[in-house]
Structure 1
Amino acid sequence: MFKKIGSRQTCAQLLEKYHKMVSKPRHPEKLMFDGVGEKDVYNTTAPFFDDGELVIAGRVESRDNEYSQVYFFVEKNGKWVPRTNAPIFSLQDPFVTKIGGEMVFGGVQIFPHPVHKGQFGWRTVFYRGKRIAELKEFAKGPEGMKDIRLVEIGKDRIGIFTRPQGEKGGRGTIGYTEISRLEQLTAEVIEQAELLEGQFIEEEWGGANELHRLQDGTIGVLGHIACFDDKGDRHYYPMVFLFDPDTRQFSDLRIIATRSDFIDGPAKRPDLKDVVFSGGLIRKEDGTAELYCGTSDAETQKITIPDPFL
């Protein structure tokens, strides 16, 4: 099951396997947001607890641009509303985890490209604190890299999943490295991560979105695989694989949902209609899981799936 080099299955091949699965996602539901005007909320985290209250971090953005902010929302009367007095960050695609008893939160920061006029550059920015109200920036990733995720493996051991693009990484390849404490998280360390070879063909790409430390010591990776079609439209699919941090071996990728499994709705642009971006996973005791996703870069939905890490 675990291997050092993947089998480079394409989106089309993974979709063919997915459509043959007997147990499929069910009960799709749109999350309703209020208190942000006419802006969209998408690419959220899964719900998590802060100060005893269930919270979601979400990307808040106008339909006609990508100048987004990350809000923290709480649920009231069936709708998610901005949390009173919570900080707001100028970021995209938030993520959150726990390391050493601290919250580690982050997202993608965009800025004017230093070379190409009129274009954006981007980097991942990390914050830490005991609670949301105490979050302080402590690290930045390399310029041009999204989808950097951390996971606590054990005492003095933190796993880092990366996603370089360009000369190293092509359109986007997953890498892995480790540090022993958060103070060691630097752009240089992230850039030196070893690539997980053979997961994507050159024309396609993918990344990690959320990491789950499993009982057997492996890491369940919730991520995405993506491609362009002949018309230049983008197609994003939630996927999973297992990773052994001791041997650096991993299982094959597996698609766990498609856009057609969710409720139909608007898209930010026509070329983003078939985009599902994995936000987070809540594993249940009954063998199912709630998958939270951004759909078509315009909405947030959740859906019930068989627990992909059982």
Structure 2
Amino acid sequence: MRLKKTDAKTCAMLLKEFENAPQPFNPEKLIFKGIGDRDVYNISAPFEDEGELVIAGRVEPRDSEHSEVYFFVNRNGEWIPREGAPVFQLQDPFFTKIGGELIFGGVQTFSNPTMEGSLGWRTVFYRGKRIADLKEFAKGPDGMKDVRLIELKDGSIGVLTRPQGEKGGRGKIGFIRIPSLDDFTCEVMENAPLLEGQFIDEEWGGANEPHLLSNGLIGVLGHIACFDEEGHRHYYPMVFVLNPDTMEFSDIELIATRSHFLEGVSKRPDLADVVFSGGLIRKGDGTADLYAGISDAEAQKITIMDPFIKYERNEIYQEENRFIAAEV
């Protein structure tokens, strides 16, 4: 099995393939309290901060996209805002750990300077030893969401990007490697080479959470999306694996669809079939918990078979700068 993809697969093709794959199970709605009648969706996976598990979540009214990101802690099975924690004027939070520091970020919206009445956006990054210490240290280019960072085995930093427009169309994934966070700039993000051939031009996708695998490969949790003939959006959680040394990557695979989760409300009718990957907790027993935003109105989690374990169970040999895997 080469860590080398075939031609771009459409959402329809991936859905057909997924019919024969192991199906997710044990869906569960996450209950959030203490934020009035606002919705919580597009959450992070839980992570530890000062000895307790915390979830970052996008909080906003049903009829608005002016959101805040809160940090929630679990109390008697319900998630409530953490007392004293900062609240950020952001959308779609994410986190990673680099050099022992917490790296946190989200999407910042602002009035579009060229289109009256519409919003622009950029990705903003913060760092600190703990949530209480977070300070802004970087901004992405205007118009770019889904920028993610990961510390690699040699201590360098992998940067996943998602340009749109002339370079990325509706949205394609790029990757670049930098020596340290000191080298993390707008120019780096703008110049990251695309992973060519992942998406057809009519569809789009992005990275949501990279995982460093035991063999140094990057397991990417992301999403792939498309419009239907009525203009409704369809978002599917997906994964692929990237070799940071050679830029080779595996085919995209779906890991769930909206139908696998519990029924619920939607922000708008055109968002009913949206699953936005938040984070993945690999549990060490061959399964993983996927945390996701559902229909832009709720947060749920579901259990799946660990999608990256097959890449770690293979012995990887490098031959003529190409990865070839042999089953152990």
Instruction: Determine if contact 2:153/2:216 at 8 Å carries over to the other structure.
Output: no
- Once the two structures are TM-superposed, the CA of residue 181 in structure 1 deviates from its matched residue by 1.2
CA distance in 1, matches of 2:30, 2:120: 30
1:222 aligns to what SS in structure 2?
strand
1:7 aligns to what SS in structure 2?
coil
Instruction: Determine if contact 1:2/1:249 at 8 Å carries over to the other structure.
Output: no
State which drifts further: 78-87 or 153-162: 153-162
Paired position in structure 2 for 1:157? 156
Q: Which runs of 5+ in 2 are unaligned?
A: 310-328
CA distance in 1, matches of 2:151, 2:3: 22
CA distance in 2, matches of 1:50, 1:3: 35
Instruction: Determine if contact 2:5/2:251 at 8 Å carries over to the other structure.
Output: no
- Once the two structures are TM-superposed, the CA of residue 155 in structure 1 deviates from its matched residue by 3.8
- Once the two structures are TM-superposed, the CA of residue 178 in structure 1 deviates from its matched residue by 1.2
Q: 1:136 is aligned with what amino acid?
A: K
Q: Does 2:12 correspond to 1:12?
A: yes
Q: 1:215 is aligned with what amino acid?
A: S
| Offset from partner CA, 1:262-292 (integer Å, 9 cap, x none) | 0010000000000000000000121000000
| TM-score normalised according to structure 1 size | 0.98
Q: Does 2:88 correspond to 1:89?
A: yes
State which drifts further: 264-273 or 148-157: 148-157
CA distance in 1, matches of 2:58, 2:272: 18
Q: 2:174 is aligned with what amino acid?
A: G
CA distance in 1, matches of 2:3, 2:261: 32
Paired position in structure 2 for 1:63? 62
| TM-score normalised according to structure 2 size | 0.93
Instruction: Determine if contact 1:280/1:291 at 8 Å carries over to the other structure.
Output: yes
In the comparison of the two structures, how many residue pairs are matched?
Answer: 309
CA distance in 2, matches of 1:79, 1:100: 32
1:200 aligns to what SS in structure 2?
coil
Q: Does 2:115 correspond to 1:100?
A: no
Instruction: Determine if contact 1:6/1:197 at 8 Å carries over to the other structure.
Output: no
2:32 aligns to what SS in structure 1?
coil
Paired position in structure 2 for 1:126? 125
> What is the RMSD computed on CA atoms of the aligned residues?
0.9
| Offset from partner CA, 1:107-136 (integer Å, 9 cap, x none) | 000000000000000000000000000000
1:34 aligns to what SS in structure 2?
coil
| Offset from partner CA, 1:48-103 (integer Å, 9 cap, x none) | 00000100000001000100000000000110000000000000000000001100
CA distance in 1, matches of 2:183, 2:138: 9
| Offset from partner CA, 1:244-265 (integer Å, 9 cap, x none) | 0011100000000000000010
| Offset from partner CA, 1:152-183 (integer Å, 9 cap, x none) | 00344100000000000100000000111112
CA distance in 1, matches of 2:53, 2:101: 17
